[in-house]
């Protein structure tokens, strides 16, 4: 029995699993097509919040992978769920890209505050790594926190995989903020239990019949196992076999690439 036959539902990470630098990795398309032909549910869960769920859906479809907006789970999904439970709107200082700020503006319960003029009004600071991050962002985030703002991060990943190597991610920005403020940070992304529970709810598949496929031991694999979900580590992204063998975090399966999902276990 191969992994596609063994499990009823699948959660895929994106960077390092489905694509690298937004270029499809080998066998991504064929594996998703096989799962789809078997009428088994799947979704994609990423800590990368540089794009909105709708934009990720559009990107994947442009790469030839069937994906509806509801099949994308990001830390923003988690953030909107948290904010949606509030009885009133909340003032947010967002350290994100302009694209994500535009997405946040569409949520009626979120009031984006101007960093320079209104940082004292911020109730929440939302940190999401972007190429637009600068020292001024760091300064006003720290000032908001000193004035009582809580801090949410789309992830605490220090790096993300690319063809150049592992590049600084949101966790590196969070580390700078923590160094200056010693604040507590709520992680909205993997490995938090809440984002895995949101994914399971959307997937509508029993926990014990679900497989997480990821390339990051500390987020994908640890998060899945903490949520009582089996996990397959694929070696096409952040983690190599030497690191996997040395780590205390052990995946249920180790795959050289996604084609190994078709191999008999």
Residue with tokens 């700020």: 101
- pTM given for the model: 0.91
Per-residue model confidence as pLDDT tens digits over 116-139: 999 999 999 999 988 889 999 999
Per-residue model confidence as pLDDT tens digits over 163-207: 888 889 899 999 999 999 999 999 999 999 999 999 999 999 999
Who's near 149: CB < 8 A, 6+ residues apart? 93, 122, 123, 124, 125
- The count of C-alpha atoms lying within 13 angstroms of the C-alpha of 122, restricted to the half-sphere facing its C-beta, is 30
Q: Are 31 and 12 in contact (CB under 8 A)?
A: no
Residue with tokens 């403020």: 181
Cα–Cα distance, 47 to 122 (Å, whole number) = 24
Q: Are 221 and 200 in contact (CB under 8 A)?
A: no
Would you say the C-alpha torsion 69, 48, 110, 223 has a positive or negative sign? positive
Who's near 68: CB < 8 A, 6+ residues apart? 57
Cα–Cα distance, 32 to 62 (Å, whole number) = 14
Tell me the two tokens of residue 235. Answer: 């070696």
- pLDDT recorded at residue 83: 93
Cα–Cα distance, 114 to 180 (Å, whole number) = 21
- pLDDT recorded at residue 30: 96
Per-residue model confidence as pLDDT tens digits over 37-74: 999 999 999 998 888 899 999 999 999 999 999 999 99
Who's near 117: CB < 8 A, 6+ residues apart? none
Tell me the two tokens of residue 183. Answer: 């604040």
Tell me the two tokens of residue 15. Answer: 């960077």
Domains of the chain: 76-187 (3.40.50.1000), 209-256 (no CATH)
Cα–Cα distance, 152 to 174 (Å, whole number) = 9
- pLDDT recorded at residue 159: 87
- Across the range 23-47, mean pLDDT stands at 96
- Across the range 154-159, mean pLDDT stands at 90
């Amino acid at each position: 029995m191969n992994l596609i036959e063994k499990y009823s539902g699948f959660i895929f990470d994106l960077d390092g699993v489905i694509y690298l630098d937004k270029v499809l990795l080998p066998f991504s398309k064929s594996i998703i097509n096989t799962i789809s032909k078997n009428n088994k549910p799947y979704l994609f869960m990423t800590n990368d919040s540089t794009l909105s769920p709708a934009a990720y859906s559009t990107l994947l479809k442009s790469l030839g992978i069937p994906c509806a907006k509801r099949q994308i789970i990001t830390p923003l999904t988690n953030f909107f769920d948290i904010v949606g439970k509030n009885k009133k709107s909340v003032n947010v200082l967002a350290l994100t890209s302009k694209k994500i700020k535009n997405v946040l503006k569409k949520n009626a319960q979120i009031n984006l505050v101007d960093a320079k003029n209104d940082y004292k009004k911020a109730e929440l600071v939302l940190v999401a790594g972007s190429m637009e991050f600068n020292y001024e962002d760091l300064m006003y985030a720290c000032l908001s926190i000193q004035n009582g703002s809580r801090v949410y991060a789309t992830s605490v990943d220090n790096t993300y995989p690319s063809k150049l190597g592992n590049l600084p991610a949101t966790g590196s920005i969070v580390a700078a903020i923590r160094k200056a403020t010693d604040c507590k940070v709520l992680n909205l992304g993997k490995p938090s239990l809440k984002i895995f529970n949101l994914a399971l709810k959307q997937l509508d598949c029993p926990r014990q019949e679900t497989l997480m496929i990821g390339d990051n031991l500390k987020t994908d694999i640890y998060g899945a196992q903490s949520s009582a979900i089996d996990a397959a580590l694929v070696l096409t992204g952040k983690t190599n076999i030497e690191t996997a063998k040395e780590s205390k975090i052990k995946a249920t399966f180790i795959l050289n690439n996604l084609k190994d999902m078709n191999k008999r276990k």
